Amino acid sequence: MARISVDYYLRLEQGRERRPSPQVLDALSDALLLDDDARLHLYRVAGMSPLPRREGGVERTDPRLLALAEQWDRTPAMILGRAYDVLAVNALGRAVFRHLKPGTNLLLAMFLDPSVRSFYGDWETGAANVVAGFRFLEGARPHDPRIQEVLRTAMEDSREFAGLWRRRDARGKSDAAKVLLHPDVGELTLRMETFDVRSAPGQQLIVYHTLRRAPGPRTRCACSAR
């Protein structure tokens, strides 16, 4: 089933072969029907890091995670796919991030949607962070067709993205403060927290909480979840 010789498999079991290739480990994982945790453990036993699986097709949000996020009436939240596609946004998130509807790509919106520039108080820093995060994703899944599609579009349509991409910065999303200039509420400072979605490797849950809101003439909050 793994398409390796019986003799080689016996050498692995008996410990006489200690350097199997990643392709052999993947073949064994498939033959033994290992889940992601067991596959990772197999690689660790072999002293290696697992190769990313080829992925494709339409991503879907775990309905239990989405139901949980919808219960947060004071916490904006969204779920991002493996190529920064917005998969879901809870009620308060939809009120705050009007430009990031499900089906929107965060990276492309950052560079190709003019309204985004006026929404972020520090667009340059935000754009650099998004590009560095996308390179981090691309490094983990270099053959993912959706990641490559987004990358090609951004390179062709945005010189600013191309310039930042050539810097080769790579880092995952982390907790950070963001200043947003909401058209109804005014200035918002939100703290961002990022969590990997265990039920869907590659997806991320982004959660925001308020640090402060600058006083201004518009004091009525139009972002309350209803």
Least-confidence region, from 25-34, 52-61, 78-87, 121-130? 52-61
Q: Are 28 and 42 in contact (CB under 8 A)?
A: yes
3-state secondary structure of 52: coil
Judgement on whether residues 180 and 84 belong to the same structural domain of the protein: yes
β-strand partners of 176: 192
What is each CA distance from 26 to 15, 56, 137, 169, 201, in whole angstroms? 18, 18, 21, 30, 17
Range of 176's domain? 63-213
- In angstroms, rounded to a whole number, what is the distance separating the alpha carbons of residues 25 and 149? 29
pLDDT in tens, 105-164: 999 999 999 999 889 999 999 999 999 999 999 988 888 899 999 999 999 999 999 999
Q: Residue 226 has what pLDDT? A: 39
Report the number of distinct structural domains present in the chain.
2
Considering the domain architecture, whether residues 86 and 194 belong to the same structural domain is answered as: yes
Share of the chain above pLDDT 90, in %: 51
| pTM tops 0.85, yes or no | no
Within a domain: residue 136?
A: yes
- Residue 224's pLDDT is 42
Q: Are residues 197 and 129 in the same domain?
A: yes
Pair (117, 193) in one structural domain: yes
pLDDT at 45: 84
Burial of 178 (0-12, 13-18, 19+ CB in 10 A): middle
Q: Are residues 113 and 21 in the same domain?
A: no
Which letter does DSSP use for residue 85 in this model? B
Tell me, yes or no, whether 102 and 18 share the same domain. no
Same domain, 69 and 36: no
- 81 and 29 in a common domain: no
Rounded to a whole number of angstroms, the distance between the first and last alpha carbons of the chain is: 54
Same domain, 92 and 18: no
For the stretch 149-180, pLDDT in tens is 999 999 999 999 999 999 999 988 777 888 99
Tell me which H or E stretch contains 208: strand 204-213
Query: Do 182 and 90 have their domain in common?
Result: yes
